[in-house]
Amino acid sequence: MQVPTGLYIHIPFCKAKCSYCDFYSVGYTESLADDYIKALVSEYSRLIAYFGDITFDSVYIGGGTPSMLTEKQLSRLVETLNNSGRLKSDLEFSIEVNPESASKFEFYRRLGINRLSIGIQSLNDNILKRLNRVHTARDAMRAIKEASNFFNNISADLMIGLPAQTSHDVVDTLNQIIPYITHLSAYILKLASNTQMHREVQENIIILPEDDVVIDQYEDLVCECAKFGLERYEISNFSKADEYNSKHNLKYWKCQEYCGIGSSAHSFLNRKRFSNDANIFEYINDAKQTFPNTYESVQKNSDSDILLDTIMLGLRLVKGIDIEKVNKEFKIDFLRKFESKIKKLRKFVEYKGGMFFIKPEYLTVQNSIVVEFF
């Protein structure tokens, strides 16, 4: 593993369950978090011992709500990373924070964290209540303004397609936060069947906007971002310059290697995809077996599976897929192999300058385009 890898660290603690969320999470207690950090340290130590030459050029601490951790707990985790000698000098080190628990910005900087991701979602308090978010618009603005005093690389998460949301809500939220951010992630609401909001929709308690309304919201967001120099580089992600693109998330979209530690964390190493148990108590109890057992118990993915992943994920990027790299990695002639499919999709896709990509005006129907390759 001479090429640096990405490291994802999952923190599953939340103060409350958002109505749209289907991720595994638990309430925070200091003793449980202490035990969890101990298990993370143990798993990380076994990981780097198993892969003797593994290094990381991105670390992403996500959740959940990592900002719920105490300074002592986070220090122990980060000190373990630093002392391992596996972090590259050009490391992108991100942590997710939620506005209601975002206050340790100076401490994060001292730890070496150089990028924040703030879960704002909306600055409409009525919408935040419907989402069961525990912060207010005022909390969100306080957090992002304070963070900008310590960080020059700040990403904000927004959601669109929410109940009772309008394009005005989306644009108004964007206009308020744009002076403080270098990166934006804007996700269209997708509801899993096991969520509170899905049940409320099924029972007609709430009504979601029609698809064409959601597409209008998205397109208004794209136009507004462009006005302020936030260029789209992936369907849901925008940045003020290439240097602010998420180095870590680009590994997912480019089908590069990454590893995840913690409950429910996923990894892609040596052409193997594997994951940890979601249940935090099972994870803590089985910490000594989590790795390498999870890695050794799965077979390598086939080249054809990884090729399809490369297409599916790569076509989320505005620049698309580097055909020369794909041909070299999979020993194929991509344009010839998929000639008939590309011909069928010629209205929607383009090959130019060695890159195969979806035309910008059709990125909103990316799923319908990608499915033609399967």
Which domains does the chain possess? 5-253 (3.20.20.70), 303-373 (1.10.10)
The phi-psi region of residue 147 (left if phi > 0; otherwise alpha if psi is between -120 and 50; otherwise beta) is alpha
Residue listed under structure tokens 């180095």: 247
User: Tell me, what's the pLDDT at 212?
Assistant: 93
The phi-psi region of residue 84 (left if phi > 0; otherwise alpha if psi is between -120 and 50; otherwise beta) is alpha
Q: The tokens of 67 are what? A: 């900002």
- In contact, 209 and 168? CB cutoff 8 Å: no
| Residues with pLDDT less than 70, the chain | 1, 287-289
Residue length, the chain? 374
What are the Cα distances from residue 126, in Å, to 140, 164, 177, 333?
14, 9, 18, 52
Question: Residue 162 CB: number of other CB atoms within 10 A?
Answer: 26
DSSP for residue 85: T
User: Tell me, what's the pLDDT at 1?
Assistant: 58
User: Tell me, what's the pLDDT at 132?
Assistant: 93
The enclosing H or E element of 179 equals none
Q: The tokens of 97 are what? A: 């924070």
The enclosing H or E element of 163 equals none
Q: The tokens of 191 are what? A: 């509801």
User: Tell me, what's the pLDDT at 14?
Assistant: 94
Question: Residue 85 CB: number of other CB atoms within 10 A?
Answer: 8
Q: The tokens of 253 are what? A: 């979209």
Cα–Cα distance for residue pair 175/11, rounded to 1 Å:
30
Cα–Cα distance for residue pair 107/72, rounded to 1 Å:
11
Strand ranges (E), 72-215: 87-97, 115-121, 154-160, 183-188
pTM summary value: 0.96
Question: Residue 145 CB: number of other CB atoms within 10 A?
Answer: 12
- In contact, 18 and 131? CB cutoff 8 Å: yes
Cα–Cα distance for residue pair 73/151, rounded to 1 Å:
22
- In contact, 334 and 358? CB cutoff 8 Å: no
The enclosing H or E element of 75 equals helix 71-83
